[in-house]
């Protein structure tokens, strides 16, 4: 929509408020609202001011003034607010120079799309993330100098099979058996469908919804692939809708990768393809029906995978899921059909349009704009430098011996290792000024100071189990 069309759309829908949204550095939506009378065509050039020093990972107090410029193409009616409200995603600019802000994740995604076109390799990068999540009945946590705990509960959790519920009706999915029996074992069918319907209201094309492997309400809703920037926007709506529908039912939803011990964590398998002039460039006559460029793209992702994890798996909790020998694909290999490989080539359809790479190690705690952009830059680096991915590994990787695995790389074992890898491998991200060196350093510094160091300083509850009687 143009600015004029946005105003007409608002009038047609009797909008009273406008909610301006943007994403912070870690990847959480921020917002403020203005009366509809404050929005005119000039707003889409002049923007709205806010305090950038209060946003995580952004400006210091002495340079705090910033502007958010609404993007008219993102305007839609919020499905949750009581008062008719127009939601618009914005881009961040400096009020003095009018330059776009390098640490705005959405700007990074815009530059990634532009760089793809500049290379001539393609004109559209499609992304299709499968973001898994949990729906819980209760979550409590706290930490202080003398305590630290969390408590998660779910009426569907198998640990409640013996709880007095007056009556307890059973039908609770056993560990690793949530994929995917029908109701009454699956108790969230209607809620997931409600989430899908709300997504459709804001223009998200949903392919399917289902229960996931873990007990306690693990779920997946799959969006149809979309161009990078659009999918970044949609992933923000996706998380927003899931959390708010859950809250509507007095439930809570989380995209934390590993909230439960002893069962599957939540991943975000991410499908990637590059198209040019309306044609898929990843279809060909090489292994599994893919093109030479697709093989080189795999090579790029495998080469840079450790550094990519700093963006695709950006929390300390991410590495409770990425553990060798368990369900997550930590081994840096590729294969067709094989879900134990870090990169899989789906074989559901013979159509050239369906040829894509499925990168399986990311998780939904990521900032989609930055994770997708980093993946695209690795793909392009692989193609530009003709990086050979080696031979595919079509065996069950989990059953291979140490000798067979000695030449197979692995994802980092911690966020600290991922940041160290990024520190030593980020040149590919700087092409086209997509990521700047300042952004890379700021990301690493933010993660170390605000996440890694605080975790290091605090006793872990399980340490008391191991060591209290020493």
Active-site positions read 51, 130, 132, 212, 220, 269, 339, 358, 360
Residues 6+ apart with CB under 8 A from 403: none
Question: Which DSSP string corresponds to 36-48?
Answer: GGG--TTHHHH-E
Cα 26 to the center of its chain, rounded Å: 11
Quickly tell me which residue has 């279809």 as its tokens: 283
Length of the chain: 470
Quickly tell me which residue has 């795999």 as its tokens: 298
Residue 120 — left, alpha, or beta (φ > 0 → left; ψ -120 to 50 → alpha)?
left
Q: What are phi and psi of 291, to 5 degrees?
A: -90, 170
Q: How far apart are CA 194 and CA 205, in angstroms?
A: 14
Beta bridge partners of 128: 271
Q: How far apart are CA 50 and CA 93, in angstroms?
A: 11
Q: How far apart are CA 253 and CA 247, in angstroms?
A: 8
Taking residue 56's Cβ as centre, other Cβ atoms within 10 Å add up to 12
Q: Evaluate whether 49 touches 116 at the Cβ level (below 8 Å).
A: no
């Amino acid at each position: 929509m143009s600015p004029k069309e946005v105003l007409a759309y608002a009038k047609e829908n009797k909008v009273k408020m406008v909610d301006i949204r943007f994403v912070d550095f870690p990847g959480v939506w921020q917002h403020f609202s203005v009366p509809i009378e404050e929005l005119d065509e000039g707003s889409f050039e002049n923007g709205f001011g806010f305090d950038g020093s209060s946003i995580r990972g952004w400006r210091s107090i002495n340079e705090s003034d910033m502007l958010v410029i609404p993007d008219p193409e993102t305007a839609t009616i919020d499905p949750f607010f009581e008062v008719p409200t127009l939601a618009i995603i914005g881009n961040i600019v400096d009020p003095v120079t009018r330059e776009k802000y390098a640490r705005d994740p959405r700007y990074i995604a815009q530059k990634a799309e532009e760089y793809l076109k500049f290379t001539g390799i393609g004109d559209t990068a499609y992304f299709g993330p499968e973001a898994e999540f949990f729906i819980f009945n209760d979550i409590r946590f706290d930490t202080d100098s003398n305590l630290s705990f969390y408590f998660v509960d779910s009426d569907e959790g198998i640990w409640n099979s013996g709880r007095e519920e007056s009556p307890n009706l059973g039908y609770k999915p056993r560990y690793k058996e949530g994929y995917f029996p029908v109701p009454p074992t699956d108790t969230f069918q209607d809620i997931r469908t409600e989430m899908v319907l709300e997504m459709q209201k804001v223009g998200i094309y949903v392919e399917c919804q289902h229960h996931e492997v873990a007990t306690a309400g693990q779920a997946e809703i799959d969006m149809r692939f979309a161009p990078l920037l659009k999918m970044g926007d949609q992933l923000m709506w996706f998380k927003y809708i899931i959390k708010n529908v859950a809250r509507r039912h007095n439930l809570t939803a989380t995209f934390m990768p590993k909230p439960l011990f002893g069962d599957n964590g939540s991943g975000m398998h991410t499908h990637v393809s590059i198209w040019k002039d309306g044609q898929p460039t990843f279809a060909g006559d090489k292994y599994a029906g893919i093109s030479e460029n697709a093989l080189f793209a795999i090579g790029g992702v495998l080469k840079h995978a450790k550094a990519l994890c700093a963006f695709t798996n950006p929390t300390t909790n991410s590495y409770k899921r990425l553990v060798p020998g368990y369900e997550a694909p930590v081994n840096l290999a590729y294969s067709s059909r094989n879900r134990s490989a870090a990169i899989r080539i789906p074989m559901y359809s013979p159509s050239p349009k369906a040829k894509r790479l499925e990168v399986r190690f990311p998780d939904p705690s990521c900032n989609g704009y930055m994770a997708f952009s980093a993946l695209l830059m690795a793909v392009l680096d692989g193609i530009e430098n003709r990086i050979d991915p080696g031979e595919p590994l079509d065996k069950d990787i989990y059953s291979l011996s140490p000798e067979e695995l000695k030449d197979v790389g692995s994802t980092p074992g911690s966020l600290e290792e991922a940041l160290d890898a990024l520190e030593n491998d980020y040149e590919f991200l700087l092409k086209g000024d997509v990521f700047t060196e300042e952004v890379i350093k700021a990301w690493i510094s933010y993660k170390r100071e605000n996440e890694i160091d605080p975790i290091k300083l605090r006793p872990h509850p399980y340490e008391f189990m191991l060591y209290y009687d020493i």
